[in-house]
Chain A
Amino acid sequence: MAEVLTQRDAGPSTPARVAPKSRPGKLSRYQTRWAWFFVSPWLIGFLLFTLIPIVATLGFSFTNYSPVTPEATRFIGVQNYVRMTTDPKVATSLLVTVRYAVLAIPITLGFGLLLAAMVNAKSLKGQSFFRTMFYMPSMIPVVAAGLIWAGVMNTQTGWLNLGLEAIGLPAPDWLNSTFWIYPALVLIGLWGTGNLMLTLLAGMQGVPNELYEAASIDGAGAWVKFRHVTLPMISPVLFYNLTLMIIGAFKYFDMAYVLKNGTGGPADATLFYNLNLYKNAFEYNLMGYASALAWVLFLIVFALAVVLFGTSGRWVYYAGDGKK
């Protein structure tokens, strides 16, 4: 046993079975060297593609850099940030993003819970069939999904409005109305609830059956059990998904771009924060200004994450966690 280890570059004469971390010395150094070797791809990538670019973004945000005239680049202080406060497009894009998030997140979470509860219900025949089918639209590429829905929602031959008219409901011009575009985006987003459904479902399946039995003995009905057993028990999964969705609203881009060909229309109603950033950087070539927008986005996301994680202790229940 020992000769195996001496043959490598480490050689304590103790059996390898002893936990290495408890024993400082050559074995631990041998381990550490290998550990850094294995995590190095990510470390190098993190430096090259995350850390250095974030700092560089901050640097660019104090310049007027444009790829068209790189030789004219100069340091302009906080001018880009000052400009943001007076740029009406920035205010519009923030408003669009928040408006969408406020509408989309509760509806999507609620729908995800409904789907998960449904495919978890013992009373549903063919659970796995429905799980598969409800997940399937999540596999459809975003561009294809956008074009399909643009067709479904068109006012002449779209099936959505024909169906609504058939049951006597009003048929709005979903994609060209500054009001209906938001419900339209939320509806399209519901097609991709598959991931949310599956993670919530797994959370629900992890709830110990004894809790439901105990609630039954106390005379609790299905709703009370859902509200007071299921929801608290899956609150970590809900929290994780809520965090991703709030931040996702600030990253929202593809669907808005596909549906309106990147115009941000109608009347800037789909000018999401990220689309505005893209236009500044790649259409107007204002990369210094876009860097300032990107840094503010980074700060917004960071602040949201801090607030969410800071308050999570109040409403997220971690089973077996001694802390409050």
Chain B
Amino acid sequence: MTTTASTQPKLAAAPRPAATMRQHNLMERILVSGLAVVILLIFLMPLGYMFTTGLKSDAQMSDPDAPVWWPFSQEMFTYNGETYPVYKVPTDAGVQRLAAVKKTRVATTFIDPANPAAGEIVWEGNWRTLEPAYFPDAQWHNFVTAWEQLNFPLLFRNTLIIAITGTLGAVISSVFVAYGFARFNFTGKNALFMILIGTIILPVQATLIPTYIVFARIGWTNTFLPLIVPHFFANAYNVFLLRQYFMQIPRELDEAAMIDGANPLQILLRIIVPNSVPALAAVSLFHFFFAWNDFFSPLIYLVSRPELWPLSVGLQKFNALYGREPNMIQAGALITLILPVAVFFLAQRVFMQGIVFSGVEK
């Protein structure tokens, strides 16, 4: 569908001395690749932050001295049944990791965890100036805690109900409408198609309030219906993408089926749909993840019914209530994004071709 740059003929025939040319190419390669790697690292940085913060302990989150790049816990040492914190203590023999058993402002008594039998070591100076000793300590159970605290099974269930039924409705209705625009001639077709495309730039707010009032009157607010039913009436993006795809299917196939006695509905189901699997897959994935991410509509229609919240609203409300637990928030964010990102990596070709298909042909 798309021609990649690598298949284009190389411009090697330019009349330049081969050596300078090679040098020039090398420079360019280093510059472009270097920039790409730098941008990639910046793009991945927030994910690194999310992942490591999600693994941190509550103690580390509230400890201003703790290192921030990785989950750490302060070392502790149990001595004679008591647990003591370990500090990095500068001594004559270099910096040693010692457990403070008795702290005062002028002197601290330490035990060497490596050699407790050696007895107490007294260090003169304020223990508060000492740097605590940390060891890497990832709290993998944070993800379990976040899973339970946010009630992810419920959020996933709600999100899946909204996304799957909405996707079915959006794809089926858009297939019908796209077929109508791709294969038939009727008066007003071009004007209608222009209106359809025009709805892409229409702000939802222009229709929001009366729609909300009607949904409230017929008792649809605080149900999934306002998030599902409107998608059963096709939308411009899907119709545009599918229509473009349908128009590529040779008309001879339709005509052959027509000769065999098929009516247009049968042609759609037997010829068009089986020949459009990539486009249907793209549209399905787009709608599924649109519904997965949608925040505004569930916020409006489900705000007072927490048991119906999808992931987006559940995560936002959790943050609004428990903003002081950034490690839980980041663990929750990771759980929320893992499915869309994983599916994207598995189906990237479908995604990226679909975007190109619907975005360029304007």
Contacts and interface: CB of A to CB of B under 8 A. Distances in A.
Q: Does A pair with B? A: yes
A202 B292 contact: no
A38 B184 contact: yes
Name the residue in A37, A139, A212 with the highest tally of chain B Cβ atoms < 10 Å from its Cβ.
A139
Q: State which size class the interface on B falls in.
A: 35 or more
A258 B294 CA distance: 12
Contacts of B39: 115, 118, 134
Name the residue in B46, B186, B202 with the highest tally of chain A Cβ atoms < 10 Å from its Cβ.
B46
B135 interface: no
A264 to B, nearest CB: 14
Interface stretch (B30-38, B75-83, B91-99): B30-38
B49 A148 contact: yes
Contacts of B239: 42
B203 A203 contact: no
B43 A198 contact: no
A60 interface: yes
A29 to B, nearest CB: 10
Contacts of A8: 263
9 pairs of A and B residues whose beta carbons are closest in the complex = A45-B233, A38-B180, A35-B184, A56-B210, A53-B207, A199-B359, A39-B180, A298-B206, A144-B333
Interface stretch (A87-95, A100-108, A154-162, A171-179): A154-162
Interface of A: 1, 4, 7-8, 16-17, 20-21, 28, 31-32, 34-39, 41-46, 48-50, 52-54, 56-57, 59-60, 65, 67, 115, 118-125, 127-128, 130-137, 139-149, 151-152, 154, 156-160, 162-163, 191, 195, 198-199, 201-203, 205-206, 209, 212-213, 216, 236-237, 240, 243-244, 247, 250-251, 253-254, 257-258, 261, 274, 277, 281-282, 287, 290-291, 293-295, 297-298, 301, 305
Given A49-B233, A148-B50, A39 B192 contact: yes
Given A144-B336, A148-B49, A281-B209, A4 B329 contact: no
B142 interface: no
What DSSP secondary structure best describes chain B's contact surface?
Answer: helix
Contacts of B312: 141-143
B320 A237 contact: no
B237 to A, nearest CB: 11
A287 B210 CA distance: 9
8 contacts: A1-B259, A41-B232, A42-B177, A42-B234, A59-B210, A281-B208, A282-B300, A297-B205
B195 interface: yes
Interface of B: 2-6, 8-11, 14, 25, 28-29, 32-33, 35-36, 39-40, 43-50, 53, 61, 64, 68-69, 173, 176-177, 179-181, 184-187, 189, 192, 195-196, 199-213, 216, 230, 232-234, 239, 255, 258-261, 263-265, 268, 289, 292-293, 295-296, 299-300, 303, 311-313, 315-316, 319-320, 326, 329-330, 332-334, 336-337, 340-341, 343-345, 348, 351-352, 355-356, 359-360, 362
A118 B35 contact: yes
Contacts of B234: 41-42, 45
B362 to A, nearest CB: 5
A291 B209 contact: yes
Contact of B46 (A119, A152, A253, A257): A152
